[in-house]
Amino acid sequence: MLTSLPARRRLVPKGPLTLEAAGLLVGLVAWEVIGALHVISWFPSLHDVLARVGELAAQGKLQEPLVQSLTNLVVGYVISVVVGVVLGAVMAVSKYVNFALRFYVDALMAAPSIMLVPVLYVLFGLSSFTLIAVIVLYASVFIIATTRSAVEGASHGLLDMARSFGAGPVAGFFWVTVRSAGPEILSGLRLGMGRAVKGMFNGELFIAVFGLAALDKNYEGAFDTTGILAIAVVVIVLAVLLATLVEIANRRLNGWATAPT
């Protein structure tokens, strides 16, 4: 008699999701109350900030900067994923490549990435190439590190079993090692997305002529707290939505993974 297959693991359990939603609701309510009661004189309420977002969209001032930022973000993130996953995997399987690159990866992980933005500005000038380079700098290092760790920690037992059934080194790597490391690699890509959004905004702040950060600079010069927080809300929502897309991809690709017994 066939035994039933193990149930698929919930990558995001129901309980934490409920608690996360409750925590978010408490924070939003607290923001609204503090702003409405003018507990802090310069701090606007949530509905004022959301109204400013709607006003910017209605006036057509939000769409073009958002498209500019999103375009640079997508291009930079795709490059980061390709570079990060390939280099991370190669570092995991080759000790020589790992020894050659490990110092640079560890140094870039530890150092504030914003320190290198002026160098990229000198190299690429006032252009979208600079912003894309900043995004790659922010995101790729974390993707490299998490991919290297994931591939190194992949199940060697499964790989040995595949080899005993005749799988060659290439097939074993792609069909066993990569799949076994898949959940951790996708978690690294999710982390990389958050880093990419941060790199996008910090790069735009430094250049201050492109995207959402350029619009934010206008409000900073006018000391418009409502406008500043409106842009912050847009950036946060963008980051959460994109990270959610990566999480959905993780569920689709790694739904086979089961919870440990």
- Is residue 193, in this structure, part of any structural domain at all? yes
Count of domains for the chain: 1
The two three-digit tokens of residue 9, written as one number: 């693991």
pLDDT-above-70 percentage for the chain: 79
The domain of 244 spans: 61-254
User: Strand, coil or helix: what is 222?
Assistant: coil
- Is residue 49, in this structure, part of any structural domain at all? no
- Is residue 189, in this structure, part of any structural domain at all? yes
- Is residue 259, in this structure, part of any structural domain at all? no
- Is residue 168, in this structure, part of any structural domain at all? yes
Q: What is the CATH number of the domain that holds 137?
A: 1.10.3720.10
pLDDT at 164: 56
Weakly modelled stretches of the chain, pLDDT under 70: 1-17, 154-178, 208-209, 221, 254-261
Please state the pTM of the whole predicted model: 0.78
pLDDT digits over 141-188, tens only? 999 999 988 888 765 555 555 555 555 555 555 556 667 777 888 888
- Is residue 66, in this structure, part of any structural domain at all? yes
Burial of 215 (0-12, 13-18, 19+ CB in 10 A): buried
Give Cβ neighbours of residue 206 (< 8 Å, ≥ 6 apart).
114, 117, 118, 121, 134
pLDDT digits over 80-97, tens only? 999 999 999 899 888 899
